[in-house]
Amino acid sequence: MAVKQKILLVEDDDALAEVLAEQLALHDEFDLTRVDSAADALARAGDGFDLILLDVGLPDQDGRETCKIMRKNNIATPIIMLTGAASEADTVLGLDTGANDYVTKPFRFGILLARMRAQLRSHEQAETAELEIGTYIFRPALKILEPQDGAAKIRLTEKETNILKFLHRASGSPVARDTLLHEVWGYNAQVSTHTLETHIYRLRRKIEADPSDATLLLTLEGGYALAQ
Ligand code: CA
81-111 pLDDT, tens digit per residue, is: 999 876 676 667 655 788 999 899 999 999 9
Mean pLDDT of the chain: 90
| CA of 20 relative to ligand 1 center, distance in Å | 14
Radius of gyration of the chain (CA): 20
Q: How far apart are CA 173 and CA 179, in angstroms?
A: 13
Same domain, residue pair 218 and 180: yes
Ligand 1 centre distance from Cα of residue 72 (Å):
23
Pair 20, 92 in one domain: yes
CA angle centred on 133, ends 131 and 134, rounded to 5°: 145
Same domain, yes or no, for 101 and 33? yes
Same structural domain for residues 97 and 149? no
Domain, as residue range, for 31: 5-125
Give the distance (Å) from ligand 1 centre to CA of residue 16. Answer: 9
Which of 76-115 are b and which e, b meaning 16 or more Cβ less than 10 Å from the residue's Cβ? ebbbbbbbeeeebbebbbebbbbbbebbbbeeeeeebeeb
- 62 phi/psi in degrees, rounded to 5: -65, 125
We report the CATH number of the domain holding residue 48 as 3.40.50.2300
Q: Residues 121, 21: one domain?
A: yes
The verdict on 174 and 210 lying in the same domain is: yes
CA of 101 to the centre of ligand 1 (A): 17
Give distance in angstroms: CA of 117 to centre of ligand 1. Answer: 23
Does residue 46 sit in the same domain as residue 143? no
Same domain, 187 and 215: yes
Q: How far, in Å, from the CA of 18 to the mean position of ligand 1? A: 13
Q: CB 26: neighbour CB atoms within 10 A?
A: 9
Residue 1 has a pLDDT of 45
For residue 106, the Cα-to-chain-centroid distance in whole angstroms is 25
The CA 11 to ligand 1 mean position distance, Å, reads 6
Q: How far is the CA of 94 from the centre of ligand 1 (A)?
A: 21
Tell me, in angstroms, the distance from the centre of ligand 1 to residue 132's CA: 44
DSSP three-state, residue 102: strand
| pLDDT of 162 higher than 70 | yes
Q: Cα separation of 226 and 137, whole Å? A: 14
pLDDT tens digit string along 164-210? Answer: 998 998 888 899 999 898 888 876 678 888 999 999 999 999 999 99
Pair 114, 171 in one domain: no
Q: How many domains is the chain built from? A: 2
Q: What's this model's pTM, rounded to 2 decimal places? A: 0.63
